[in-house]
Structures are given as structure tokens and as C-alpha cells.
Structure 1
Amino acid sequence: MNALMWIAVVSLAVWGWLLLGQGFFWRTDVRLPERTPPAEWPSVAVVVPARDEAEVLPRSLPSLLAQDYPGRAEIFLVDDGSTDGTGGLALRLAREHGGLPLTVDSPGEPQPGWTGKLWAVRHGMALARARTDAEYLLLTDADIAHEPDSLRELVAAARSAGLDMVSQMARLRVAGFWERMVVPAFVYFFAQLYPFRWVNRPGARTAAAAGGCVLLRRETAERAGVPECIRQAVIDDVSLAKAVRRAGGRIWLGLADRVDSVRPYPGLGPLWRMVSRSAYAQLRHSPLLLAGTVAGLALVYLVPPVALVAGALGGGTGTLVAGGAAWAVMTATYVPMLRYYRQPVLLAPLLPVTAVLYLLMTVDSAVQHYRGRGAAWKGRTYARPGTTP
């Protein structure tokens, strides 16, 4: 029990660092920077990669068509080999709703070495270059719904703050039991890995983005060689942010107020696949990093409740106090994210349970990789970057 007490003390020390030294990642007040409408609104090309999105398109595409943008804007939806009629549905929705001009096209199957999404983005960017003089590109997923002023606010923020890339993490859907358990924690863990305040510092080493909603200056994208330079990336949004920063661009990332994902996750299975398809890629397919991650998750999230229970059952006051204090800090840092997602704060003490799920998802991601089924999504499996597809 003395050993457990000291492990609990280490866990408490880690939580002290996370609370105060990890960019205040747990705060949810990083929203669009202060903005002033520009004197002249630049033109924007909206690029939407879509593969088998007929289920969500009726709730997302009309929100793009209805954008109240004072300048010129045009939508390019790239049908990435859909088999459910995504492209035809998009054209039908455009006829029914009107609004911004819509072009639907398909690039065919990806060339070797490309992920499907980035192949579609490449095609959409090429269409935008050929048909518009757009200064900005809005890269947005097919499941993302925007409020009517979303594009206007993004452009105003980019112009006012001199930003080359503005990315908002869309508010994911939280309705069912498993969504409540997994989704807020997904954003919480992402912010812990990539604290928004660190990302938003000019010249900082930390770079990240949220791929569902990215406003990107076209000239910066071309200077960075996007998307060719990240064509194999499974975690394409983080790779995009790093490429833009390497090219000298200024980036910004924060939480969204009026940008939402409408994709449902009706059970644990879809959520599991969402996480496990890229978890091992996040660890650069390294067994050593996987082992360290598993040990770290256990130390940070599992030791506190175990130490508290063990201490209460006679393991010693020190064990109980250290474990209880670490669990209390963990719980307190999770409350703001639950409030952002409009969920009861009573879920906060259950974060260790969710951490166990993420630990298992991460291990499963590695197992699937070594079975040749890693990074599988919508019928495609992608090779590890640097290997022959």
C-alpha cells in the first residue's frame, strides 16, 4: 500500500501540472477572436469532400447554401466514390433550397499514396482555382451544419487578426448514452494533447486544427504545398495545421458556438471506430509510444479512483487523500467541457470509465494496424505513411 500511495502522489502531481501548466486546456472560453467586418469582403470557395453522406446531407448542405455572406462564395462538393447517391442528392437539395452556387464533381478513385478525403480536397481546390479567384477556401466536412453567419464570422476573424487559417471544432452531436460518455471526452482529450492557447500563439511549436471547419487562405495553402504535402495523412487536420505553420502561416483553433456536426453515433460501435481508426496513427505506429500511452492513461486516470477506494478500505490515509485529491482535480477540469456540451456535471466523476474505453480503443487501433486493417474508413484501408499502398 505504501507503493500505491506514492503512485497516487505522482498522479496528483501530474494533475497539478495538467491543471496549471498545460495551457489551461480544460477551459472552454477559446472562441473566435475579436473581429471587425472588412471594408471589402473577399471571395470564398467552399470545398466539401463527401463519401456516402446521403444520411446527413439534407441537414448540412442547406446550411451552406443559405450562408449570408456579403461577398462572392461558391460551393464545390466533391463526391468521393459514393454508392448512396450523394452527388445526385446534393444537386436536388440545391434546386430545392437555392442560395449559393453549387458544383458537384467526382475525381475518381484516389491515386496510390493518397487518402480519399485529401484526394477529394485536392480536386475541390483545383476546381476552385479554375473557376474562381477565391482568396479563401472553406474546407468543411459533409456532416457539418453552419449557422447563416458562419462564413461571414470566419472571414471577419481571419481578416481582423491577420490569420492564414481559422479552424473551429464543431460541436459534435450528443444525444444517446454512449455519445454522452464518449463525445465530450473526445474533445477534452484533444484539447489536452493540443491546448488551444498554445496552438494560437504565433510561432508556437504546437499546431492543430479541427478538420470539420477550416478557413484557409488560398495563397498560404499553395505556398505550403497543401494538400500534396500531406496526401497520406490519416489525421489530416493536424497535418494541415503543421504544414501551414511550417510555411510561415498564422493559425488559430477554438471551439465553435454555431457550427455543429449532425452525424449520429447511435451506439458504442461507431464511436469506437471513429477513435480507433486514427489512434495508433497519432502514436506514429510506435509500440514504444503505445506502451507509454497505456501506462500514462493508467497513471493519470485510473490510479486516482483505485487509490481512493484502496485507502478507504484500509490502505492508509495518505493513499486515500492523494487518490481523492487527484480524482477531484480530474473531475473539476472535466466540468467545463460537460457544460459546453450541455450535459449534467454528474457525469464528470465518470471520466475514469471513459478513459478505460479510450485506452481499449487505442490498443484495438494498434491490433487492427498489425492485422492489416488499420486506418479503415468507409470501405477503404490506408497504408502506413511511407509504405507501399
Structure 2
Amino acid sequence: MRTYDDALLADVRARLATVPAGVADLGDVVRDAVRHRGVVLGSHALERLVHDVRDATLGAGPLQVLLDEPGVTDVLVNGPRDVWVDRGSGLEHVPLDLGTDDDVRALAVHLAAAGGQRLDDASPVVDARLPDGARLHAVVAPVCPRGALISLRVLRPGGLPYTELVAAGMLPPGTGDLLPALVAARANVLVSGSTGTGKTTLLAALLALAPPDERLLVVEEARELVPTHPHVLHLLARRANVEGRGEVTLADLVRATLRMRPDRIVLGECRGAEVRELLTALNTGHDGGWATLHANSAADVPARLMALGALAGLDPAAVAAQAAAALDVVVHLRRTDGRRHVAEVGTVGLDDGRLVVEPALTWDGSGAPVRGPAWDALVAQLRDRA
């Protein structure tokens, strides 16, 4: 239940707008607004009011309590009383009442504004990053039937150490040293998988294992990769403004990294024409690169690369030749019964001119790993690079 009404919230926002950002203390502003209305509150009630108003003005409003909950990775709003969370083991319905469809739309508009984006009938779809790092995707009517649809992905600063991922069963038993060996060997690796399989979590943990004297250039649409490493530089893409100007694409940023003395070039997610720049960079002596890619399986990675290459104007033969020369390994992740794990590790190569990913290690998450036909080649490659 809300401890404030819309009039009080509007008064607080108006007062905050009159002072420079970061100067006013929100608690003092709320107390002044309450005092101006002639209302007397006890210390506990006032503290709760300040907390709720802070969530409404600076956070995600009634959803903030879910975002702050340890273990929550996603918060999804389908309607006023249709709220879901993922605590790491699948979606769970939450008995949270957000009011009406109009209230949900207003919440979506507020979240978009907090992320510096516009959300209205003229611009009904938005991707943004909230001040606390959460990633927002929102859609409002008429694109959706009514109100708004809100998707929030929680970013955990620093991520989890690789040892914790191994302990949690993300790697096949007895193979926990394999992925760090890829980092040490400066292999060029794609981490593939569907949404929510832990690609970003695993990549951040592995990048933290890179030697501390290496310079990591991380290119993303929104900042999600936060490896615990002393020398990480982040380059973030920017959308065009309302006048259609000022856009900076992922492809622009990958090209920019080449002039910034990178030891490792990392692309948070390869999803478009920037695949051309990525393959070019990894084919010009910049080894040790990593990227994530959405794919259903490791065997489907070549088809995904072909599709992305077509967006960049590359024909299949050019993509195959470039990818086979640039990439060494694909690490594919899957989610089984709510648990994220590495399902396959494969090597990248050509078979009669066709790009293929040959299985080196497969695992269904429930038993011992199975060595594939490329296992010996992978071990030899790591040994040669050691």
C-alpha cells in the first residue's frame, strides 16, 4: 500500500526540480513537503514515507523492492496484477497490485524518463538503463493491447567469481580448468546461448581472470559486463536523438577500439552488422577477444553468423572464411530446470568451405561430460598456445 498520494509526489518532484541534481537531500525535501501540508508523522512513518517516495522518484517505484531482493534477475510486468520475478530458478508470480492500466503506463513512462528516454504514443518502445544499472525494456499501447509491458533485467555489479560458478555446477564436473585455459591461451571465443542462460555472467567471470596488466575494451549497447579487473574500459552505443542525429553504433565502437591499444576486444552482444567489424578486428592480430551471441545450439552458431553477416553485406563464403580464421572456440550455455550450465564447447573451422562448429565437449547438465571429435584438437590448440 502506498504511503503517499499523487499530490505529495508531484510536490516533491517540483521541489527537486528547483535545485541542482545531487544538491538536495531527498529526505529533507519530503519532510518540507509534508510540513507544508500541515501533516504530522511519527519518525517511523516518516522514514517509510521517505523510502517510498525515493523509490517513486529515483527508483522503480513499487517494483524497486523486487529489484532490491537478493537473487532476482528479472522483473516482468504484464498488467496491474500480473507481475513476475525470476529468482534464478524460473518465473514466479508475485501478488503485487500496481493499480490500473493507466498506472502501469505511467510507471513505464517514469522508468523510461529515469533512463533518459522518451516513451509515448509517438515512441511506444524503449530500451534504457536505469540509474541503478537495471536494464529496462518497455512497450506501451497501442503497440501492446493496453497499459504497458515492462521488463527489467537486474545488473549485479562485479558479477560472481568464476570459482562460485564452478561450485554452482555451471561447468561439467572435472572441467573447471577448461575455460580459464581459453583465457590464458588468448583464444578468440564466442559465448552462445538463449536469453537468460548466463552468457554475460560467465563472460564477466572469465574476463576477471585475464592478467591484470592487460587492457580490456568492452563494447556494449548498455553496460552489463562489469568484470572485476583493474583495467577495463567501457564503450556504450548511443541511439540517434529525436532529430535523427548523434547515433554511435556498435560497429563504430568496435572500429574505435582498434585505435585504443587493446589487449582484448570484447563485444557484449553481437547482434547485427557489427559482426563484420568484430571478425575484421580478430583477424588483424587482436587475439584474446570474446563476444556473446544468441543461438539455439553451438551447431547453429554458423547460421547465426551468416544471417548477421548478410546484414553487413557479406556473402556466406566471406563470412565463413573470416569466421574460421578469426574464431577458435564456441562455448554454448543452456538452462535446464532453472539451472544455467555450459552445455557444449566446440571448435570453429571449415568443412569443404562450409563454416562448422565441431563438438569438443558436450554435457546435458545431469551426468559426466562427453568428449567429442574435436576434443584432441582443442587440447592440442591450448597446448600450442601455452
Query: Which interval holds the TM-score relative to the shorter structure?
Result: under 0.3
Question: Which one has a larger percent helix, Structure 1 or Structure 2?
Answer: 1
Q: TM-score, normalised by structure 1?
A: 0.27
Q: TM-score, normalised by structure 2?
A: 0.27
